[in-house]
Amino acid sequence: MKKFKYLDYFIVVPYVILCVFGIIMVYSSSADYYIINGIRATSYLFRQLAYVMVGFLVAAFVFELKLQKLRSSTFLKIFAAGMIISFIYLLFWGSVINGAKGWIEFGPINIQPAEVAKLFLTLYLADMLSKHNDQLEKDPKSYYRAPLIMTLVFVLAIFLQHDLGGATINFAIALIIFFASGIDYRKGIGVILLGVSAMMFVLLPLASRINVNTKNYMLQRIVGFAHPFELAKGAGNQLVNSYYALGNGGVFGVGLGNSIQKKGYLPEANTDFIMAVVSEELGLVTVSLILILLLVIVGRAIWLGIHTRNMYETLICYGLATYLSVQTFFNIGGVTGLLPITGVTFPFISYGGSSMLVLAVAMGILLNVSANVQREKNKDLTLIRE
């Protein structure tokens, strides 16, 4: 419990506010739809409340852990084996939800391995690339080989689940950690520019040429992105109704609970498109405040990555900052039509057990790193005074 005096309020306060607000919005975005369909209105409210409360306990537990336990070779091997087994299971017996074969059912609980993979890749790559950091410049190929293979296997496995968003986020996390570990930044910038060019000059023209009646799930989302109003009753339905929600909400919104689109018009109103409901009910001002709170956490993670003296902790902080920022960008991009819809949830706000628990572990790790940074700072001040 002594560790709690090092609690970082730049992480804790935004985390708690976002989670509490998320509980309110999950209820607001789902209650009317369930009442209309004769289902108990508080069904998702109590589930999300349970996920958040368990998440707080998980975050506190990880905060109290010694970070060295998370880089134990035994722990990482078991973690890796569990992930690989889960991916194999998904290929043959995975549950299909909204076109993606990415869920493992345990009774009333659905686990999404692609979410857990974000945490695994962060921990695994941070351990591997910091362990040999001093030798990376001498022989980079040999030390990057195993982490690169592991990354490609995970990204491919997630892509085969028809989860383009999850695959891209995991790839982005790995990319940033590789760059931060000492890889030639010029090569990294080249890869990023290539990706952006592919999006602008290949994906958009390609989308306009795809048959609008395609049955392929991922292609449907790209076509819906390119022709939303033409396919308003099909692949473009989510995006069109999201536009209506954003337009109806304006700057200040129509008031909490007063969304029209959530009443059966907007699919996934409590998960992927919850920010459309937030925007409709509470306006652009509230959406901006939410983004600022997330920016505080991301900024703090980057700050910790810069100020810690431990390369392992630096890579973890950068990986988690990437996870939060890229996932937020993909979700907002899908809701506003700037990007194809990828089925990515909004951190802390969207309904979901796997996401909330992975985020809780991430917050616990950041708090742990922050405590280590503060202790090192206190030691330095003590030495100066002496």
Sequence-ordered list of residues with C-beta below 8 angstroms from that of 212, at least 6 positions apart, any chain: 223, 227, 230, 231, 235
In whole angstroms, what is the distance from residue 170 CA to residue 177 CA? 11
What letter does residue 344 receive in the DSSP assignment?
P
In whole angstroms, what is the distance from residue 235 CA to residue 223 CA? 7
Across the range 82-108, mean pLDDT stands at: 76
Q: Above 80 in pLDDT, residue 95?
A: no
Least confident of 124-133, 216-225, 254-263, 322-331: 216-225
Q: Above 70 in pLDDT, residue 234?
A: no
What pLDDT, on the 0 to 100 scale, is given for residue 201?
61
**Is-above-0.75 flag for pTM?**
yes
pLDDT level of residue 226 (50, 70, 90 thresholds): low
pLDDT level of residue 140 (50, 70, 90 thresholds): low
What pLDDT, on the 0 to 100 scale, is given for residue 380?
64
In whole angstroms, what is the distance from residue 241 CA to residue 191 CA? 35
What pLDDT, on the 0 to 100 scale, is given for residue 138?
60
What pLDDT, on the 0 to 100 scale, is given for residue 218?
63
Q: Above 70 in pLDDT, residue 212?
A: no
What pLDDT, on the 0 to 100 scale, is given for residue 302?
96
Closest CA to 343 of 183, 158, 184: 158
Q: Above 60 in pLDDT, residue 215?
A: no
What pLDDT, on the 0 to 100 scale, is given for residue 339?
84
Q: What is the mean pLDDT of the chain?
A: 83
